[in-house]
Amino acid sequence: MINLIQDVLESDERSDLRQFASQLRASDKRYLLRNDILAAFSEYCASHKKPEHFFQHSQLGQLVYYTQEIILDSESLYLLIRPKIASQEVYRVLEDLTVESVTVQELLDLRDRFVNHYHPTEGDVLELDFQPFYDYSPTIRDPKNIGKGVRFLNRYLSSKLFQDPRQWLESLYTFLRVHQFQGTQLLINGRIQNQQQLSDQVKRALQFVSDRPDDESFAEFRFKLQEMGFEAGWGNTASRVRDTLEILDELLDSPNDEGLEKFISRIPMIFRIVLVSIHGWFGQEGVLGRPDTGGQVVYVLDQARSLEKQLQEDIKLAGLEGLGVQPKVIILSRLIQNSDGTRCNERLEKVHGTDNAWILRVPFREFNPNVTQNWISRFEIWPYLETYAIDAEKELLAEFQGRPDLIVGNYTDGNLVAFLLARKLQVTQCIVAHALEKSKYLFSNLYWQELEDKYHFSLQFTADLIAMNATNFVISSTYQEIVGTPDSVGQYESYKCFTMPDLYHVVNGIELFSPKFNVVPPGVNENVYFPYTRTEDRVPSAIERLEEMLFTQEDPAHIFGKLDDPTKRPLFSMARLDRIKNMTGLAEIFGKSKELQERCNLILVAGKLRVEESDDNEEKDEIVKLYRIIDEYNLHGKIRWLGVRLPKGDSGEIYRVIADHRGIFVQPALFEAFGLTILESMITGLPTLATQFGGPLEIIQNKVNGFLINPTDHEGTAEKILDFVSKCDQNPNYWEEISNKGMERVYTTYTWKIHTTRLLSLARIYGFWNYTSKENREDMLRYIETLFYLIYKPRAKQILEEHMHR
């Protein structure tokens, strides 16, 4: 990008850059983010009567487009430029318009100086740099391939391994020998003693099963295969065994990465899975709508059901049913003694609709029962996680009667516990971020000290660094979650380089081009969320009850607002009441548009109705704000606010009832990591408008199967809603057209079957490479442990001491 800067300085636009810089200095802001920069440049172009093309197509316009941050100090203009996805460059422009490059360390010092926390006379701050640990591992080159890590890793390591045929055969042979289930040997036994015998016996076995009827059960010829050195696990019928052996035979003779992935994906090596979801109220009834629950609870429960179902299918296809092999999935969460009428005080709860999936709740140790016996905010949970992991390990080993095969962490706290468990048990680990708080709260790292009492971001961000670097692989719901878009920085990308003033500088926090990143979007529970047109599966009494609750029922304890005209088209939204979900923002958009109020009603299912009923500070603030907006814009008679906790069945039917009324679902979040409610509304047939900031950008194809909105642009959002309403009024088929395309989008891309098949394939392939490549990650893990013991633990102890005096 230095060339582009030089082009600006050597052209007539040099004076424009000087004047633009002068305009920025005249404003109050000294730290501008991309939206601020674009707005300021637009203002400059207008005030200086620049031609229309200048904003985008001039050299200065291009430079502004690529600039993510501008920091102004007394003498210089610092430009943080993002020339392409997952890349940044920093330049200092002096008053005489000379330009010099700025190092990462200088940038972090500058940011510290900006918040008056730069103390060079006191010595350097701790620097964290994970890059050296990635220098000897393969990295992806093309940003387009980020999120397709397993494909790259398999291709790269396969090519290296296949170069040495002897090592390749030895690695595969030893890998096949290690597989067993509770003492029962799988795949190959002691009659095959080396790799050459393996190759010979595969050909013998192939010849044998080729003469059997395709549908003949494995049990019928099991003992004959045992004599040749093959145990159960190759298939449940002669045709399945033959197919698997053919893949292996071709792999032994002509190895290639596609064949290896196909073969490894068939190997029965995962039977016991732990899904870690610590914080919040984790239950199946009476918890949705409470702080720290919602999307993550739904995600993990649906994932557990789907994983068990897929494991059962895999075990059957592998021919292991006759051996009594049964998969087990455990959701590890915390036990809350004062459970407020929920089942969160029960140690073990079976997951509905499963044979052997369980919620295992382990309590926090009782340092202070007044705290630990109650729900604890996700922002204050940190002091209890290490001892929790120690206690949970014992419980898991007892429940599984052995070690699990895969541990999947969820959210920052669950990911940290997953790391501690996987480190101790030597198990393959996966993490799912769901939401990285650093992206949700602007400048949260820069002003962490001012926010520490409320949010404890020093622990949150440290735990994120630990988990994302320690894990074997990462599951991301979307590509942009990792590295954003050409216009915005990704959640993980924000950890690449940042400062926590007076605590540490992160020079390189994560290798974005690492093959550990994989995009595997979640699905939606099709038993609960299905199209409104499937009337045969809907319950008339539930429809009638929800109709009344949504539009006419009077219940001051749980419902605020009476509609003057319940027949108007409903605008519907359902989310927690917190700042990021922005339900108050949607109410304000509605309040500012008289035309929207004339044509629609606003119906919100959101949190609680009264401040005194909430334990969450953000929720309290949003409750007060929502009442203020209703009064300020006189929305009485036009809005319904339901402070209810919906049972699972009702949460699906409520979308369908809104669809019956030809309504619209609006998701107005300031940022949404993925957006399960978007999938839920689309699959039920409800046309959906959702935030353009985050995951919805990849779910919704704008103006094809839904609409993207900028919820910070109140007027623009109202116009998009009104435009859709007008088109529906003019052409009733238009509502159905968007409805049908939304359903099609979910069914072809976002099902749990697709998700779990991919997740298990990833776990097997990463497990294979961890075993065969003998990758030495001990140096990185020791570095991570140092971060845990020297930064995380002392800061967690400070919270614990405060909790002890409550």
Condensed to tens digits (0 to 9), the pLDDT of residues 87-111 reads 999 999 998 899 999 999 999 999 9
- Calpha distance 695→522 (Å, rounded): 11
Q: What is the arithmetic mean of pLDDT over 307-334?
A: 95
Q: What is the arithmetic mean of pLDDT over 411-427?
A: 96
| pLDDT reported for residue 414 | 97
| pLDDT reported for residue 413 | 96
Q: Pick the closest to residue 439 from 490, 390, 377 (CA basis).
A: 490
Q: What is the arithmetic mean of pLDDT over 481-502?
A: 93
- Crossing angle for the helix pair 295-317 and 676-684, to the nearest 10 degrees: 70
Cα angle 198-201-203, degrees, rounded to a multiple of 5: 110
Structure tokens belonging to residue 372: 């630990």
Give the tens place of pLDDT for each residue, 516-542: 999 999 888 888 999 999 999 999 999
> CB 772: neighbour CB atoms within 10 A?
17
Amino acid sitting at position 425: L
- Whether the pLDDT of residue 585 is over 90: the answer is yes
CATH code reported for the domain at 149-177+188-264: 1.20.120.1230
- Calpha distance 533→531 (Å, rounded): 5
| pLDDT reported for residue 775 | 64
| pLDDT reported for residue 406 | 97
Strands 428-432 and 473-476: parallel
Give the tens place of pLDDT for each residue, 592-643: 999 999 999 999 999 889 999 888 888 999 999 999 999 999 999 999 999 9
- Whether the pLDDT of residue 498 is over 90: the answer is yes
Domain with CATH 1.20.120.1230 in the chain: 149-177+188-264
Strand runs labelled E in 385-531:
406-410, 428-432, 473-476, 498-500, 504-508, 517-519
Q: Please give the residue that has the higher pLDDT: either 88 or 770.
A: 88
Structure tokens belonging to residue 305: 């059901």
**Which backbone phi and psi does 375 adopt, to 5 degrees?**
-60, 140
- Whether the pLDDT of residue 434 is over 90: the answer is no
Cα angle 72-74-79, degrees, rounded to a multiple of 5: 25
Tokens 């010829």 belong to: 221
| pLDDT reported for residue 780 | 94
* pTM of structure: 0.86
Return the percentage of the chain with pLDDT > 70, whole number.
100
Give the tens place of pLDDT for each residue, 636-694: 999 999 998 888 789 899 999 999 999 999 999 998 878 889 999 999 999 999 999 88
Amino acid sitting at position 601: N
- Cβ within 8 Å of residue 643, ≥6 positions away: 558, 559, 560, 606, 607, 608, 609, 610, 613
CATH fold of 2-102 reads Nuclear Transport Factor 2; Chain: A, (3.10.450)
Contact 667, 586 (CB under 8 A): no
| pLDDT reported for residue 617 | 85
Instruction: Give the CA radius of gyration of the chain.
Output: 29
- Calpha distance 712→670 (Å, rounded): 7
CA atoms within 13 A on the CB side of 646: 24
Domain with CATH 3.10.450.330 in the chain: 2-102
Query: What end-to-end distance do the CA atoms of the chain give, in Å?
Result: 54
| pLDDT reported for residue 120 | 85
| pLDDT reported for residue 503 | 97
- Cβ within 8 Å of residue 304, ≥6 positions away: 275, 329, 331, 351, 354, 357
Q: Please give the residue that has the higher pLDDT: either 329 or 748.
A: 329
Average pLDDT, the chain: 93
- Whether the pLDDT of residue 488 is over 90: the answer is no
- Whether the pLDDT of residue 774 is over 70: the answer is no
Contact 188, 198 (CB under 8 A): yes
**Continuous segment of H or E residues that includes residue 71:** strand 67-72
- Calpha distance 144→684 (Å, rounded): 32
Q: Which CATH number fits domain 535-750: 3.30.450.20, 3.40.50.2000, 3.40.50.720, 3.40.50.300?
A: 3.40.50.2000
- Between the CA of residue 658 and those of 536, 547, 666, 786, what are the distances in Å? 18, 8, 12, 53
331 in helix, strand or coil?
A: strand
